[in-house]
Amino acid sequence: MFHTPHGLVETPAFMPVGTQATVKALDPGDLRAAGTQMLLANAYHLHLRPGDDVIRDLGGLHRFMGWDGPILTDSGGFQVFSLETLRTIDEDGVDFRSHIDGSARRFTPETVMRIERNLGADVIMQLDHVVPGGSPLEVVRHASERSIRWLARCQEELKRHSADDSSPRQTLFPVLQGGTSEELRRGAAETVTDMGDWAGYGIGGLSVGEPKPAMYAALAVTDASLPRDRVRYLMGVGFPEDLLEAIRLGVDLFDCVAPTRMGRNGTAFTSSGRLNVRRAELRSDGEPLDTSCDCPLCTQFSRAYIRHLFVADEMLGPRLLSLHNVHFLTSLLRRARDAIVAAMPLPEAPPI
C-alpha cells in the first residue's frame, strides 16, 4: 500500500481513466461502488479543456470532479506524441497544435509541472519523450535519455514550487522508458534511482504492440533494478491476464481505458471470459451477467436487460457495463492482494 494526501491505496490497484475529469459514463458514487481507490486524469486534455487555470481557480481537480480519493495525473506526453500530427520536438520541449481548436501550444518539463500543480493531483507524472513501439534501438535510447534529462528539469521545477506554501502536496513519479531493450530498461531504472528518493516509478513504453514475452522480460529487469519498497506503476495496461502476470513481476499500480471503452462498446469481462452482451441468445436470459460478481449490474439486473439496453441504444447500458468491468478488475486485484498477503498463488486469469 502507499499513502497520499487523499488517503491510502492498497496495492496492487487498478486506476480507471478519467481523461477529461470524468471516468466515461461513471460518477464518483459509481466508482466507489466499483471498488475504485484511485483515479487517473490527463493533464494534456485538462490543460486544453477546460484549462488547468480554471480548475485551479475552482479549488483543484478533486473538488472539480467530486472525487475525494487519490488522483494521479498523466503528463500528457503520450497524447502530445500520439494525437498531434503538427508537432516539433527539440531538447527543450514540444510545440504542438491543440486537437480541439488548432491553437499553438508548447509543453516543456517546466510547463507540464505547472499544469499538474494547477490540477493538484496526489501523484504527478513527468513529461517524457514517447516514441512508437518498434522504433529502432538508437531512437529508443535517445528518447529514454532525453526523458531522464527532462525528469531532472521536472525535479528542479518542483523544488521551486515547494518554496511556495500555496502549492499542493504532490509526489512526482519518473517514467522509465527503454522499449524492450533489457540494457536500456536496466540503465533507465538505475540512473533514475540515483537521481532521487522516488516514492514510485512509472513504467512506460510497454503494451504498445510488442510481443508479450518481450514486455514481461522488460518488466522483470526493471523490477530487479528498482528499490524493493517503491511503487511500480505499469502505464496503460488493464487486461486481466496482463495484470496478473505483471503482478507476478512486481507491479503495484495500473491504469487502462479498456474496462470503460469495452463497457461502452458492449463487451463484458466475466469470470468465464469476454462476452458480447448483444448476443442474440441473451435475449431472454434471466441470469446475472456474471454469477460470481457482486457489482450493481450483476446484483440488480439480468443478462436480458443489459442486452436490451445495448440493442435499444440506451445510455444506461454503457454505464452499467463500464461499472461492471471496472468492478471486475478491482475485484481481481483485491483477490490478488489477498493471495499475496496470505502467501498463496495468485488467482487465475479468465480465458480471453
Site residues, its own copies (CB under 8 A): 20-22, 24-29, 49-51, 54, 57-59, 64-66, 283-284, 286, 296, 300-302, 304-305, 307-309, 311-312, 314-316, 318-320
- In this complex, which beta carbon is closest to its own copies, that of residue 216 or of residue 301? 301
| 255 among known catalytic residues | yes
- In this complex, which beta carbon is closest to its own copies, that of residue 271 or of residue 302? 302
Of residues 74, 122, 128, 223, which has the active-site annotation? Answer: 74
- Beta strand 231-234 with 104-107 is unpaired
Q: How far is the CB of 166 from its own copies (least distance, A)?
A: 18
Cell numbers representing residue 151 in the block: 525528469
- DSSP class per residue in 51-77: -HHHHHHTT-HHHHHT--S-EEEE-SH
Half-sphere exposure (Cβ direction) of 39: Cα atoms closer than 13 Å = 29
- In this complex, which beta carbon is closest to its own copies, that of residue 20 or of residue 193? 20
Q: How far is the CB of 115 from its own copies (least distance, A)?
A: 16
**Residue position matching grid coordinates 526523458:** 147
Q: How far is the CB of 20 from its own copies (least distance, A)?
A: 5
Q: Please, what's the largest Cα pairwise distance for the chain?
A: 63
Contact 322, 260 (CB under 8 A): yes
Q: How far is the CB of 283 from its own copies (least distance, A)?
A: 6
Contact 45, 337 (CB under 8 A): no
* 116 vs 4: CA distance, rounded Å: 16
| CA-based nearest residue to 256, from 200, 207, 323 | 207
- In this complex, which beta carbon is closest to its own copies, that of residue 248 or of residue 278? 278
- Beta strand 275-276 with 267-268 is antiparallel
Q: How far is the CB of 239 from its own copies (least distance, A)?
A: 23
Instruction: Identify the three-state secondary structure at position 152.
Output: helix
Q: How far is the CB of 147 from its own copies (least distance, A)?
A: 29
How remote is the C-alpha of 295 from its chain's centroid? 22
* 287 vs 274: CA distance, rounded Å: 16
- In this complex, which beta carbon is closest to its own copies, that of residue 49 or of residue 160? 49
* 212 vs 132: CA distance, rounded Å: 16
- In this complex, which beta carbon is closest to its own copies, that of residue 63 or of residue 106? 63
- In this complex, which beta carbon is closest to its own copies, that of residue 66 or of residue 132? 66
Of residues 52, 223, 255, 290, which has the active-site annotation? Answer: 255
| 223 among known catalytic residues | no
Q: What dihedral angle (degrees, nearest 10) is formed by the CA atoms of 110, 22, 71, 227?
A: -80
Q: How far is the CB of 170 from its own copies (least distance, A)?
A: 22
The DSSP call for residue 36 is -
* 53 vs 283: CA distance, rounded Å: 49
The strands making up 94-97's β-sheet, listed across from edge to edge, are 87-89, 94-97, 104-107
Catalytic residues: 74, 255
